Each structure stands twice: as structure tokens, then as C-alpha cells.
A and B are shown apart, each in its own frame.
Chain A
Amino acid sequence: MAGAAAGAALLNGSTARADDAAPPAENEWSQSIGAGVVDRPYGKPSDEQAGVIRRNVPWLTAGTESSISFSPLQSLHGIITPNGLFFERYHAGRPDVEADKHRLMIHGLVDRPLILTMKDIMRFPSTSRIHFIECPANGGMEWRGAQLNSLQFTHGMVSCAEWVGVKLSTLLEEVGLKKEAKWILVEGADGAHMARSLPLDKCLDDCLVVYAQNGEALRPEQGYPLRLIVPGWEGNVSVKWLRRIKVGDKPWYTREETSKYTDLMPDGKSRGFTWLIDAKSVITFPCPEVPLSGPGLYEIRGLAWTGNGRIKEVHVSTDGGANWQQAELKEPVLSKALTRFTFPWRWDGKPAFLESRAVDETGFVQPTLAALRKVRGTNSVYHNNSIQTWQVKPDGSVYDVQLG
């Protein structure tokens, strides 16, 4: 568009030449009247941003209904993921739930079992929180080796939003817990009737039952009209389209917490109930999708997160982990939220290996892949929170590599 306008201006002998960059550059859009209000009543990104979309890996799953899409981290600039770009995970496709017909039942070891409409739920005192959600399979395709030359596909199963809803503890207090209560089952209204067990401590600590995301009603992709948020824990437990909460005295050992979302170790043993998302970080610029354009000063940028609270420090290495320096954390630095970091770097045009390493407020240090493999082998699928290495070549191109 800009190029075409500039070309036409040249042909016309006009003085309006965008490529001169002489201010003010009078382009076509500066010499005409634009569309009026409500031309796009909801609004949408610039047409030039049409490629900034969630993407999937078709060879990964049998179909798209039980699958995952990845957030385009390479094109995002803050800690908040736009609602249309928040990664998706379905187990039976995206249900189009009618809010008027949706109900939440809370029952089991409670004094007063209840059925709540959306209107009922929205009357309870509301809470706002900014939290990330990460699928524990994020990076799962990289355990055996570097496979995907893309930030979007190596790290895009994480997103972050402001959530508004009611504390789960408020709802559980409303129904009254019996003294034998120790676990809850949460269940979705999708075809999978997604079901997970959660220990009561976590439910009473910081879980939320939310109806809004980044200022608007939840998107259908994210559980409209109601979902659970379990801050800092693997995304699967933040059950979407939440329709039932049952209080019990033991876990349920559902399919999604036995057959799936368990970690197979090299000795054939498996770990279950590994809910926590450990500290993790990744450099989002440069990355395979956004290479460097010649030597000079750059701001390396990235994201860090931990289910253990706040990110305390991020370190950046440009030599494959031989030497590290402190990156700057960008406010806000929130608990169990994506945190931005930056690091100024003068690139001399020589080959480099860029890495970032997060340290959380408990002192836990993000491990290398070698350290994780030493303990967990290569078949555990989930919870790969290892340090990512980007190889920078002299032409500025960037590749996903693993060092040994």
C-alpha cells in the first residue's frame, strides 16, 4: 500500500514521496478521509498484521478438535496476550455454550449444595488478577532435540491475561465445607467433560472462577461463559466451560491426571500430580521469526514466568552460557504472571548463542536441558522449562539449537 502510493506519487510528479522520509511524509492516508466510527464496530488489527495469528502443528495431533494452537510470541510486545491470540487447547473442540443455559453446580461434601446461574455468579464480590496460563506440554516437542525453528512453536503454549471473577474460596464458603473435605473435582461442559482433581489447600489459596478476560467476557476459546483459573499450575487444571465442582475426601485419578499429564521417567516410573509450572524464560527478540538486520546495538527482549510467585532475576548470555549478565526486569513484575525483561547488546556480527535464565523468588534457577534430561530422560513430555538457545549466524538469521 505504502509502496504503491509512493510509486504512484512518483509517476505523477508529486512532491509527496514517502521514501524520502522528509517530514511530514504525505502518504495517501494523510491526503484523504478515512473510514468513520463503527466502520468496524468491534475493531480488528491492521490488515498488515493479518499474519499475527495463532498457529497449529498439523502433524502433532489426529485432528484439530483435540489439539493445541500456539500464541505468536514473536509478534507480541507486553505481558498481556490479546484475547484473539491466547493459545487454545481443546479436548473435544470448542463448544459454543449459551450463557443463559449454563449452570455451575457445587455439591459433594458440602452443607448447602447449590446451582448457580451466570447472573448469580456475577453477584458475588469480584476479584481481578493477572496470571499466565501455560500448557505443561509447552516445549514438549524439544525433549529429544531441536525440532521446530520457531519461537511460536517452541514456546507459544503460554499466554497471560487479566482475569475477573469470584474467588473459589468465596464459593466454597458459600456452600459450607464439611470437615472431611480435602479435594475437589472440577468439570467442564465441553464434550470431553474435562475433569481434574485439585487439593483443597490450593483451591482456598488463590484459585478463581472467572467470567472475564482482558476487560471483556471470556472468549469461547477460553471457556465462555465461565472457567477456573489455578494460578501458576499447569494449564489443564484451569478447566474451561466450568459446570460442576464436587467436593470430596480423595482425588479422582481421572484420565487427564493418570493417562495424560503424568511424567514418564527413564526408569519406567511415572510422576503424577505434578501441577506446578517451574521458572522459565525465553528470548522473544531476536528469534527465528525475527532475525537481526546487521551488526549494531540491539535490545534483547524476552519473557519470564514462574508458578512459584514472582520472577526475581533474569540472566542473559550471548556466548552459550559461558558468561551471564543481569537483564532488566520491566514493571509490572507480578506473581504468577508473564514478566518482561530486556538486555542491551552490541552485536559485532559474529556467531553468537543467545540464552536467558530465570530465577524465581524461591531462588530456583531455570535449568539447562542437559540438567533436566539427566533426571527425567527424554520421554516425560511435560514440564520442559529448560533454557532455550538461539544460534545467531553472521547474516543475522536465528536458529533453534541445543548445545552440548
Chain B
Amino acid sequence: MSSLANVRPVMFAAALLAANAVPAIAAGAHKPFGYGTPATAEQIKGWDIDARGEDGKGLPPGKGDVNHGAEVFADQCAVCHGTFGEGEGRYPKLAGGNGTLTADRPEPTVGSYWPFAPTLWDYINRAMPFTSPRTLSADDVYALTAYVLNLNNIVPADFVADKDSLPKVKMPNHDSFSWQDPRPDTAMKPCMTKCVDPSTLKIVSTAEGQSLTPRTTGPLDDMQPK
């Protein structure tokens, strides 16, 4: 499925179909095209920022502990996420929510929802702080990861996060995920006549009268005078 050897027959079939009408460049006569520049090992090292969630592959050298993470968090993260990860305003709550996933209003957080600990390192490293991503050292990202895991009581206060310890952290909700799409999970029949008794139909919910809809004519709501 995945090897180049298996890709080629498709390309050749397309080339044969098109052979009468299409110049050689589209028929694959010049492969490889040779465009671009080979990426050097040094260049790849600079770009290759990801760490895999399941096994932590790609986590760099370095380490950080919970106490240092608390300092970095207070300085860089608390303004949006709250001092203890409770979330300010509509910014994401990072801690708590355990046991809420079947509740009427679930609270998915790192502790209650995330399946893999290295994903937390990867996400902080690639996307945080929100207004200045990619400005934290690897050690600081490890420290923040340790702090957020500790906020969720997943690791003890003396936990040190590094490339060996993070993949070993068992996330509480890890086993709740399935990674195979079970859809289609509905099997409606295309009934055409007398599908329901119209006299039984009633409105169970309406958007009428709710004041949740922004205006849909004229300027944006955001552009209105405060």
C-alpha cells in the first residue's frame, strides 16, 4: 500500500490513458523532476519540531520539573489559562473535569480527556504561548508539561519531564479512544411517502426568540459602537 513500487502502476496507467494527447512532461517521462534543493541533515534538524504522542519519538534532550513549570506558567500562561489551569474567560481550562465526560456538560481537559502525555509537550512547543509561539526553550516546555500534568494529579510534585519519562505517563482517559471511524453509524431508509404521521410532528426546539444570533445584514456585530 505504502511503497513507491505500489504507487507507480497507478501513475503508469494514467500515463497510458493520456499518452495520445499529453506531452511527455505530464506523462512522467522526466521523473524525478529534480526540482528543489536536497534538504541537509542540519536543515532537517532545524525544521523537525514534532514529537509523537504515542511513543514520544522526536522529543528532544532536556528536562523540566513541576516547580520550574509553575514559575514559567505564572509568567507565560496564567493570563489566559488561570494560575491553576482553571481558564480565564473562554480560554481553555487545562485541569479538572474528571468524571464529567458522561455528564450533561462535559469538561474535557488535559487530565480528563487527553490520551497521550507527549502530545502536551508537542502542542506547547509548537503553538504556545498563544501570542509568541516557538519562544520557549525545550527545558521550559518540559517544565510546563510537568506542571500541567501535576495540576491534574497525574504525576507527583517531584516529577521530572524528559524524553524518557513523558511517554511512560499513563493518561487517565487513554483507553477511552477508538481510532477506527465506525461510520456510517446511521442507516436511514429513503422513505418517500407517509414516513411519519404529520399530526404527531411538533416543534421541540426553536431559535425564534433566542438572542443568540448575530445580525446577518449590515455591518458586523463587532463593528457596532460599544
Question: Taking beta carbons and an 8 Å cutoff, which residues of A are in contact with B?
Answer: 51, 53, 55-59, 61-62, 64-66, 72, 74, 91-92, 105-107, 112-117, 120-121, 123-125, 145-150, 152-153, 169, 172-174, 176-182, 185, 187, 191-193, 195, 200-201, 204, 243-244, 246, 248, 250-255, 258-259, 262, 264, 266-276, 278, 288-289, 313, 315, 319-325, 353, 357, 359, 364-368, 371-372, 375-376, 379, 383, 391, 399-404
Contacts and interface: CB of A to CB of B under 8 A. Distances in A.
Contacts of A401: 203, 205-208
B21 interface: no
A174 B31 CA distance: 7
A173 B213 contact: no
Given A107-B39, A145-B205, A274 B181 contact: yes
Given A51-B217, A125-B26, A315-B190, A268 B176 contact: yes
Nearest to B110: A259
A91 B126 CA distance: 12
Given A255-B127, A325-B192, A114 B36 contact: yes
Interface string B157-190: 0000000000000000100111111111111111
A51 B221 CA distance: 12
Interface stretch (B50-58, B60-68, B70-78, B138-146): B50-58
A233 to B, nearest CB: 11
Given A179-B2, A365-B190, A120 B36 contact: yes
For A172, A179, A193, A201, which residue has the most chain B Cβ atoms within 10 angstroms? A193
A271 B190 contact: no
Contact of A270 (B127, B176, B222): B176
B185 to A, nearest CB: 5
B1 A201 contact: yes
Given A252-B53, A371-B188, 11 more contacts: A58-B222, A62-B89, A72-B216, A91-B127, A113-B39, A174-B33, A192-B133, A255-B122, A278-B183, A320-B196, A322-B195
A167 to B, nearest CB: 10
A148 B213 contact: yes
Contact of A359 (B190, B197, B210, B219): B190
Contact of A250 (B31, B52, B134): B52
22 contacts: A92-B127, A116-B35, A121-B35, A124-B33, A148-B213, A169-B10, A192-B127, A246-B50, A248-B52, A252-B52, A253-B115, A253-B116, A259-B114, A267-B102, A272-B178, A273-B181, A322-B196, A359-B190, A399-B206, A399-B208, A401-B206, A403-B203
A286 B154 CA distance: 53
A117 B126 CA distance: 23
Nearest to A385: B186
A46 to B, nearest CB: 15
Contacts of B156: none
Contacts of B35: 116, 120-121, 123-124, 174
Contacts, number: 300
B212 A59 contact: yes
B166 to A, nearest CB: 13
A264 B191 contact: no
The contact size tier of chain B is 35 or more
A246 B181 CA distance: 24
Contacts of B176: 268-270
Nearest to B87: A62
B115 A258 contact: yes
Contacts of B222: 56, 58, 64
Given A264-B106, A271-B182, A323 B194 contact: yes
Contact of A404 (B116, B119, B202): B202
B119 A258 contact: yes
A320 B202 CA distance: 9
Nearest to B133: A191
Contact of A193 (B25, B37, B49): B49
A179 B119 contact: no
The 9 closest A-B pairs by CB, nearest first: A253-B53, A404-B204, A145-B205, A149-B207, A255-B123, A193-B126, A62-B90, A113-B39, A367-B186
Contacts of B178: 269-272
B116 A258 contact: yes
Contacts of A324: 190-193, 195
